Amino acid sequence: MSRLTNISIVLLIVISIGCASTKAYFLNLSDFITKNYVNKSFQKKNLFKEAREKVYYQTLFLRESKNDTIFVLEKYDLEVATVYGRIWTSKNNVNYAYRRKTQGNELNLIGLKNFANNTIDLVTRWDTVMIRKLENDPHMFRTGSNISAYRCFVIDNKIKVEHIAFKDVFDPKNIN
């Protein structure tokens, strides 16, 4: 074999290993969240995992985020049988809606945010004290949805996930 062919093969192997390890990171992270945090009695828990995996395969930035903190917000809307989510890093984000259908599943990557800006800001800062304070504030409007938020990162080559579940609330003064 020529030297150029050998270099090409080595480069392909390195790229494949790099992609596989990053792929394994996000998909392992998704598995970890489902096994450890999604309510065991909640029958739709695999729906959240399916949604995250479909988002992974349709967005490039999740493959490149192993060394960045990943934030995940998820909620399930019972009325329309849809998982709404947002996944973001310091550089990118994706909002999505996912629902199972009898003739195939449907994932929509949407430009609109499924969560209030204030909620996204509080989760990005991981201000769990303020999240609880707003959740219990009698002046806040409650939508009835429960939100799960995750902050995920790697420390010493181990996945670390922090989680908070809370009621979806917003300030009625912010309605236009």
What per-residue confidence (pLDDT) applies to 4? 38
84: which residues sit within 8 A by CB, 6+ positions away? Answer: 74, 75, 76, 77, 95, 96, 97, 114, 115
Please name the residues in contact with 150: beta carbons below 8 A apart, sequence gap of 6 or more.
33, 37, 70, 71, 72, 161, 162, 163
Query: CA-to-CA distance for 39 and 34, rounded, in angstroms?
Result: 8
Are residues 68 and 90 in contact, defined by beta-carbon separation less than 8 angstroms?
A: yes
pLDDT of residue 140: 63
Tokens of 22: 């990053």
Location of structure tokens 């093969």: 9
> What percent of the chain is modeled with pLDDT above 90?
18
Higher pLDDT, 12 or 26: 26
Global pTM reads: 0.77
Q: Which of 173, 157, 163, 7 is nearest to 74 (CA)?
A: 163
Q: Let me know if 131 is exposed, middle or buried by CB neighbors in 10 A (0-12, 13-18, 19+).
A: buried
What is the C-alpha separation between 110 and 51, in angstroms, rounded?
13
List, for residues 105-152, the tens digit of each pLDDT value. Answer: 677 777 667 888 888 999 999 999 988 888 777 766 666 678 899 999
- Give the pLDDT score at 17: 33
Tokens 């995992």 label which residue?
49
Region of poorest pLDDT, from 6-15, 35-44, 113-122: 6-15
**Residue 24, pLDDT score:** 67
How far is C-alpha 5 from the chain's CA centre? 40
Q: What is the structure's pLDDT at 150?
A: 94
At residue 73, the pLDDT reads: 94
Written as six digits, the tokens of 115 are 């969560």
> Region 20-34: what's the mean pLDDT?
73
According to the model, what pLDDT value does residue 36 have? 82
In the structure encoding, which two tokens stand for residue 103, read together? 């003739």
Least confident of 1-15, 22-36, 39-53: 1-15
Q: What are residue 96's DSSP bridge partners?
A: 85, 109
Compare 106 and 51 and report the one with higher pLDDT.
51
